[in-house]
């Protein structure tokens, strides 16, 4: 059973009181003190650099860390700023897990705009926080604000007051 299946089954069993379906919803995510200026540490099995388009491709067991933020994926492409002195965007593909504090999110792919502190996740997004889970097609996570907006057939199971 995958982590995603375990999280969903546990959340569904614990929260069987009612189901909410909507087109979009705001939820809390991560800590509000995330520092987007903190250094970004990347480890991977392979690195290739293309100076012609100012990119680097990390492949195989890629782990990205920035402060208390952790991102893992099979492949992460780094797009550097035009002057080459900073990172503009991280593009993670092939099944992405993002963890900030006690919160976690999974998706098929994610783009992290470091300057704005925004992570856009797409493809079977699952956000977990404590004993609750929210699934959707896409999510936009604001790391500095500690919030996420989920859209595209949002689904969650809500706990009643008697649980």
**Would you give per-residue pLDDT tens digits along the chain (163 residues)?**
444 544 444 444 333 323 333 344 556 676 556 777 889 999 999 999 998 889 999 999 999 999 889 999 999 999 998 887 889 999 999 999 999 888 899 999 999 999 899 999 999 999 998 778 899 999 999 988 888 899 999 998 776 665 5
pLDDT at 78: 96
Domain that holds residue 40: 3-158
CB atoms inside a 10 Å sphere around CB 74: 16
Residue 147 token pair? 């919030």
Residue 26 makes CB contacts below 8 A (sequence gap 6+) with: 147, 148, 149, 150
Tell whether 110 is covered by a domain.
Answer: yes
Positive or negative CA dihedral for 73, 128, 140, 155? positive
In a domain, 28, yes or no: yes
The number of folded domains in the chain is 1
Specify burial of residue 39 (Cβ count, 10 A radius: 0-12, 13-18, 19+).
exposed
**Is 163 a member of any domain?**
no
- Residue 26, pLDDT score: 56
Indicate which CATH number applies to the domain containing 42: 2.60.450.10
């Amino acid at each position: 059973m995958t982590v995603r299946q375990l999280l969903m089954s546990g959340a569904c069993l614990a929260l069987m009181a009612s189901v909410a379906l909507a087109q979009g919803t705001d939820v809390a995510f991560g800590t509000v003190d995330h520092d987007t200026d903190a250094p970004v540490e990347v480890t991977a099995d392979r690195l290739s650099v293309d100076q012609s388009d100012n990119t680097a491709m990390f492949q195989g067991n890629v782990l990205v860390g920035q402060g208390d933020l952790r991102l893992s994926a099979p492949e992460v492409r780094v797009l550097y700023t035009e002057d080459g002195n900073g990172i503009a965007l991280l593009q993670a593909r092939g099944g992405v897990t993002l963890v900030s504090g006690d919160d976690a999110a999974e998706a098929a792919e994610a783009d992290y705009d470091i300057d704005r502190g925004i992570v856009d996740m797409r493809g079977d997004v699952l956000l977990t926080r404590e004993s609750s889970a929210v699934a959707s097609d896409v999510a936009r996570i604001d790391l500095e604000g500690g919030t996420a907006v989920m859209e595209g057939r949002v689904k969650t199971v809500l706990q009643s007051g008697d649980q």
